[in-house]
Amino acid sequence: MSTRRELLATAVLGTSTLLAGCVIGSDDDNQQVQPGEARDDLEEIERGPEPDPDVPERIHEHVITARGYDGSIEDRTGEEEIEVFVGFGEDGLAFEPPVIRIETGTTLRFLWTGVGGAHNVVARPESDAQFSSGEEVDTADKEFEHTFEDAGIGTYWCTPHRATGMRGGIEIVLSD
């Protein structure tokens, strides 16, 4: 008959063995990772893509982990009204386009897709342009418009999904 102390010692030893196997295990590429070692690709995973030189640093730092962001900025200057989809991608946790360049006087129409749960569009406090669509909505019939009158950098997110990478950026340049 085992004592409680022997039982506890066995449980602790078994748990330690399991945890050690998790720490020393291999990653997806079957590369052995030892305790205290870093993965070769960890910085890339954490930091996202390298930016195109045209992407303003403030935007890149805000959207670096945004879903759909590939390091580039979509130049939409010369257009008076542009649609941005809210709830884009397979899981509906992205804006499309994620990063855009527009001119002053341009109106962005944010259109909800109804995918990915309840979303909203809210400018970060540090954003040069302040705007908000209000409470989160999970239907496909929601629209929100904002006209950007001043040049600057606009950074925004979906409040409930900002930690999952639902972020966007806007460079607003002076119109000709």
- Please provide the distance, in angstroms rounded to a whole number, between the alpha carbons at the two ends of the chain: 88
The domain locations on the chain are: 1-44, 48-173
Q: Which residues in the chain come in under a pLDDT of 50?
A: 1-45
Q: Which residues are CB-neighbours of 5 under 8 A, at least 6 positions away? A: none
- Find the farthest-apart pair of alpha carbons in the chain and give their distance in angstroms, rounded: 88
Write down the pLDDT at residue 25: 38
CATH class of 48-173: mainly beta
Q: What is the pLDDT of residues 67-117, one digit of tens each?
A: 999 999 999 999 999 999 999 999 999 999 999 999 999 999 999 999 999
Write down the pLDDT at residue 46: 55
The overall pTM is greater than 0.85: no
Contact 67, 165 (CB under 8 A): yes
Q: Which amino acid is at 106?
A: T
